[in-house]
Structure 1
Amino acid sequence: MKRTNTSAWLMAAATLLPLAAQAATVQVTVLGRDGKPLADAVVVIEPASGAKPAEPTPVSAVISQQKMQFVPATSVLPVGSRVTFTNLDTWEHHVRGVPAGLASLNPGTQPGFELRLDGRAEGKSPASAEVTLDKAGAVQLGCHLHGSMRGFIFVADSPWTVVTDANGTATMQGLPEGAAKVRVVHADQLLEVTPVAVNITPVTALSLPTQVQPRRRRP
């Protein structure tokens, strides 16, 4: 009986060990054109093997318009997520969402969305409207009335898509080891850049320079 249990355990361990060996952790630090850490950059890792986990579960999120800004300025949300746009300012805003970058020049690209949100009146709830993000890709946000207002949503179909923090760092776990490509997308990026080829080991730390010069935002 003991031999049978031992054999079963060894078979289970042999099955699990290759899976455990593939569960890599990757930390990517993105740098701007000035060499400083670049916050709000979206990092996408695509294994060369084509391995892809299940799509992340859609969520409900809120993006506010406050003090002439979109808050948060950059969001990474799974495909199918619902976003509520809310105007906290006392004046009217629009929300214009269009495909970002070169995708906007593709004749087959969906036109995006447009919303109108009245200014907040004293004693009343702020105006809001909801949009469902049903297609993966980058979306640039703007306002027809205030050209300086810009926001960014990256609609992701993989959990290996993370936005960098204030230190320019994005951390991902559970990636397969081996060859992969790392892509960086930023709201202030003028042109799409070629993905960087990397080799993922159990613990991988990368530093990626870019030519992105982030705009100064309102305080």
Structure 2
Amino acid sequence: MQTLMKCAQALTWLALAGAAQAATVQVTVLARDGKPLADAVVVLEPASGQPPRAPAPVQTTITQQKMQFSPAVSVLPVGSRVRFTNQDSWEHHVRGTPAGLAGLNAPVQAGFELRLAGKLEGKEPSSADVTLDKAGPLQLGCHLHGSMRGFVFVATTPWAVKTGADGMAVLQDVPEGAARVRVWHADQLLELPATAISVLPVTALSVPTQVVPRRRRL
């Protein structure tokens, strides 16, 4: 009995120790003018080099409506399945290609392309599914309507979060210790250098950028 009690105490101590190592990191991303930057993707990388647990794939929908992709920016685990749906009454294409500098060196066949007919009154909208099997940012476009653009950041880590209108991203269950924070935004010209931080139980920081966000078409 005494041995069992000691084992139970040891397990409880280990559980508490593990819980104490799970931290919350709050990152506020700022545009060039110092205002909060929405739709930036914050990625945290522990400096230990130990690969994080892979997030489970999800199923989600990205809609084409009023000549826009909605949501405009999505952060999804690698392996996720996306259903593209056309709610407009006219035809759209969906073209997904590597975003930024990666797109300049990407082979012609990189990414995906599909065609969605316009929605007919009283009928279900046209849709098609795509599995995101490669990590990194993707730019979404339409051959017929050049002003349409959206983005999907395909992540291999659970610590990848999009900022809200307040420019803030909150990452949960982060291991304490040295880490790097990277920020990606659709309107950045060059990849931003990583910010080195020391993760404590509650950590908050601001990351300034030179990004001037493009006004979204209404």
The corresponding residue for 1:65 is: 64
Q: How does 1:56-205 map to 2 (within 5 A)?
A: 56-107=55-106, 111-205=110-204
Q: Deviations over 1:54-107 (max 9, x none)?
A: 211111110011111100000011111111111111111111100011211335
**Contact 2:44–2:179 (CA<8 Å) still a contact in 1?**
yes
* TM-score normalized by the length of structure 2: 0.94
- The percent of aligned pairs where both chains have the same amino acid is 68
The corresponding residue for 1:52 is: 51
SS in structure 2 of the partner of residue 8 of structure 1:
helix
The corresponding residue for 2:9 is: 10
**Contact 2:98–2:106 (CA<8 Å) still a contact in 1?**
no
Tell me: CA distance 1:4–1:22, structure 2 relative to 1, closer, same or farther (3 Å): same
CA RMSD of aligned residues (A): 1.6
* Consecutive unaligned residues in structure 1, runs of 5 or more: none
* Consecutive unaligned residues in structure 2, runs of 5 or more: none
| Range with greater deviation from structure 2 (131-140 or 53-62) | 53-62
The corresponding residue for 1:21 is: 20
State the one-letter code of the partner of 2:64. Answer: Q
| Range with greater deviation from structure 2 (62-71 or 113-122) | 113-122
Q: Deviations over 1:150-208 (max 9, x none)?
A: 10001111110011111111111111111111011111122211111111111000111
Matched residues, number: 218
State the one-letter code of the partner of 2:18. Answer: L
**Contact 2:45–2:181 (CA<8 Å) still a contact in 1?**
yes
Structure 1 residue 110: Cα displacement:
6.0
**Contact 1:103–1:109 (CA<8 Å) still a contact in 2?**
no
State the one-letter code of the partner of 2:180. Answer: K
SS in structure 2 of the partner of residue 153 of structure 1:
strand
* TM-score normalized by the length of structure 1: 0.93
State the one-letter code of the partner of 2:188. Answer: Q
State the one-letter code of the partner of 2:31. Answer: G
